[in-house]
Amino acid sequence: MLLDAASLYFRAFYGVPTSVTTPDGRPINAVRGFLDMTARLVTAHGPDHLVACWDDDWRPAFRVEALPSYKAHRLAADGGEETPEELGPQVPILVEVLAAAGLARVGAPGYEADDVIGTLATRARGPVDVVTGDRDLFQLVDDARAVRVLYTARGIADLEFVDEATVTAKYGIPGRAYADFAVLRGDPSDGLPGVAGVGAKTAAALIDEFGDLAGIRAAVARTVVPKPPLTAAVLKKLHAAAGYLDAAPVVVAVARDIDLPPVEGPLPRSPADAGALAALARAHGLQSSLSRLGAALGWREDVVG
């Protein structure tokens, strides 16, 4: 099980009220929510390995160089990611808690969590569940390798299980074609404009007709007499978007071969540092959440203190 960690701790922050605080009154809702989500996922789905995949770089240079609008609307004044004031201080606490608990946390300099997930999913020798609220990761679904996405749009208690058939049912395209579909349609949440005037329905029709983005662009280059779905109007829009179509695939495609050390991530049978975990629990009021996580992992009841 690969967790898109930022996706989950943002969801936890907005799903658990900031009135959930540490003993000295600081918001701890994102950490509590993340731990509770993880406990529920382990209990419900029984993974034998679990990795919290981290954004070491939420806006990698190679993606910004290809498309400067990428996530530009999320930039804070200091150049970092715009984050709620109450959330920022909680992230280092979560890092400490995961380390003390012995749960694997993996990032890669210059890459997003998506790329860590893509690489680990590609390396995996068995079934993989990717837990995320990011549709970009739909491009990883692979029925032959039993890679699916547990999509959190409706929350951890009501996950949507996304495989190739789900992608086809949702968007009318082959499961493997989601990245090309996203390039054409765009995604405002990532600053990805898409091809102006080409919506989801037209993007799906083009993919179904020509197979993938490369096939679509080859057809655009050779088409003299337009016919549906490559009508004269669509042809004009694709010609006008040539520069964008050159750049966007680099932004949308999840890396699957970044340089990561071997990552196992077996579920810890006991905390990596029980003393540190107990101290963190007391300092931040995490006893109940860590008890639930410990129960999901099969730890002794008194291990958190």
Query: Against a cut of 0.75, is the pTM above it?
Result: yes
- Orientation angle between helical segments 5-15 and 113-123, nearest 10 degrees: 130
Tokens standing for residue 70: 């990428």
* Domains identified in the chain and CATH numbers: 2-171+255-297 (3.40.50.1010), 175-252 (1.10.150.20)
Q: Residue 260 above 80 pLDDT?
A: yes
Q: Residue 195 above 90 pLDDT?
A: yes
Residues near 268 by Cβ (< 8 Å), separated by ≥ 6? Answer: 101, 102, 103, 297
Q: Residue 54 above 80 pLDDT?
A: yes
pLDDT of res. 155: 85
In angstroms, rounded to a whole number, what is the distance separating the alpha carbons of residues 105 and 107? Answer: 7
- pLDDT grade for 261, boundaries at 50, 70 and 90: very high
In angstroms, rounded to a whole number, what is the distance separating the alpha carbons of residues 234 and 203? Answer: 10
pLDDT of res. 305: 63
The DSSP line for 42-78 is HHHH--SB-EEE--S-SS-HHHHHH-TTTTGGGB-TT
Residues near 30 by Cβ (< 8 Å), separated by ≥ 6? Answer: 9, 10, 12, 13, 16, 87, 90, 91, 94
Query: What number of other Cβ atoms are within 10 A of residue 246's Cβ?
Result: 12
In angstroms, rounded to a whole number, what is the distance separating the alpha carbons of residues 254 and 245? Answer: 16
Residue with tokens 């994102």: 30
pLDDT above 70 coverage of the chain, percent: 100
* CA distances from residue 232 to 221, 236, 246 in whole angstroms, order as listed: 13, 6, 21
Phi/psi of residue 191, each to 5°? 70, 30
